[in-house]
Structure 1
């Protein structure tokens, strides 16, 4: 195991009084990245671009990268993008938890995953024409790509690209923090000016989430599970609830059918998910799926 410090000027996307110092630790072909308060006497490497970082990772024997949450959203996205370029997985470092369905009942969990895959295939065949129609509407309404992808935290902290129909103007992510400001809870805005007219309609009935069935087929998501946190939300979770980030996220879940319209506190949402994980059962998942249907048709809490 070896350790050295890394100085990155571009990693955070901001200009602090002094650039942050990072500590890189190699352990069993894993690269662990954490913040460091003080530089070492070893030479520092300035990473000026995502491509330079990707080139370094490609030449290294590292198999995967683990990133500390306190690195910040911009640095996490930079490393995730670089890892994706060289096909090496990136993980958010999160504390382990025994309260996971996969650990509680392995056989029932395997059955759940089989149901996920089978249902995702069937649903894609059924809603395929609808998805095609939505694709044309998006193209005609607003210039830009049909799909929107974003880094989310998946099982055991693994970062993955969630797929959605694009409901905002092109480049909307650049204005995210301007729109949300210092909002403490979930970064959701009822009158978000970036949302297109067709996007607002799709969001009301959760149609923008249909492409997530592809994430289910990839094994990155389940039909039912905790909310898949975006990086800007994940970095603001308190250490007391970060173990929830070990769970496989779902398209729908207990929060979506019970607290979507009023429960916005990040830690409270995670506590709801932790209770769900602690009492998980296939019967409960089936109940959540049944409750999802009327919530979607009524546009419950969606914007």
Structure 2
């Protein structure tokens, strides 16, 4: 009954409200603002969230999205992680793209705007190299999957929402290195750890997963993300939601950049440097001095780092 009342109160009337008009209303634990086909999701006041803790919002949100005329969603970075995951899941289920709501005075600082022609060369070479790499790595994929089947029953692949180009959310693809449903225990394991949420003694990591992480074998399926245009071979780290929401507002514009499989942080520090602001500064420096030669240099540096397991856990 509660969910029906909230849903009815939240539904706008398209016949009475023109598209140019800004619609703003409370819905469950959020403030929704709709303008010209875009839906902006922001957290409601804490007292409202506390009053609805026992209600599962998924059916109502799904019903609302199916009814809504919004073509894309923008999620406020101050939303809790579970809210961002919920809206991203249901937006994907209804065929709508979702992105983090990020602001910057100008986009000219991004490499694709400063160097449009070399950037196009990068994008095409990324996809061709990734497609060729996937074909060459088929035996490796099959071997890894066979080892996983023997030592760690469960899904072969792990998918997780990450922040991509322009703040858009996409599902990164990796080989699973943890026990199934490890995400449910993430905050229980990490506690109030500052910096990137990575732990060398993470109890969720499987024996085969620890070996894959040491030599970055778990990262290989991200070549699919490169072929799909969601990632690059070289670029800033694609932040997981639990890391993205803790980034200082002054550094959030970094999340507008195209993420990569390897990058400045991976070849210079990797897991030996987990400070969010320091990693962001490394990535911003890379973006500010981007060139095709810089990307080639990082790729060449990546090979020996991977072979030796540098800074990995």
Shift of 1:59: 2.1
Using structure 2 for the length normalisation, give the TM-score.
0.88
1:153–1:234: 8 Å Cα contact kept in structure 2? Answer: yes
Match of 2:159 among 138, 149, 164: 149
Shift of 1:2: 3.0
| SS of residue matched to 2:200 | coil
Tell me the residue number matched to 1:200.
210
**What is the distance in 1 between the residues matched to 2:108 and 2:250?**
14
Shift of 1:223: 0.3
2:23–2:35: 8 Å Cα contact kept in structure 1? Answer: no
| SS of residue matched to 2:194 | coil
Give the count of matched residue pairs. Answer: 287
**What is the distance in 1 between the residues matched to 2:257 and 2:287?**
8
Tell me the residue number matched to 1:238.
248
**What is the distance in 2 between the residues matched to 1:285 and 1:69?**
29
Tell me the residue number matched to 2:236.
226
Shift of 1:35: 2.4
Aligned ranges 1:175-214 → 2 under 5 Å: 175-214=185-224
Aligned ranges 1:264-275 → 2 under 5 Å: 264-275=274-285
Aligned residues: CA RMSD: 1.7
Tell me the residue number matched to 1:217.
227
* Runs of at least 5 residues in structure 2 that lack an aligned partner in the other structure: 1-20
Shift of 1:4: 3.0
Using structure 1 for the length normalisation, give the TM-score.
0.91
Tell me the residue number matched to 1:2.
22
Match of 1:54 among 55, 58, 62: 62
1:244–1:274: 8 Å Cα contact kept in structure 2? Answer: yes
| SS of residue matched to 1:69 | coil
**What is the distance in 1 between the residues matched to 2:306 and 2:160?**
22
2:24–2:34: 8 Å Cα contact kept in structure 1? Answer: no
**What is the distance in 1 between the residues matched to 2:191 and 2:43?**
25
* Runs of at least 5 residues in structure 1 that lack an aligned partner in the other structure: 9-19
Tell me the residue number matched to 1:280.
290
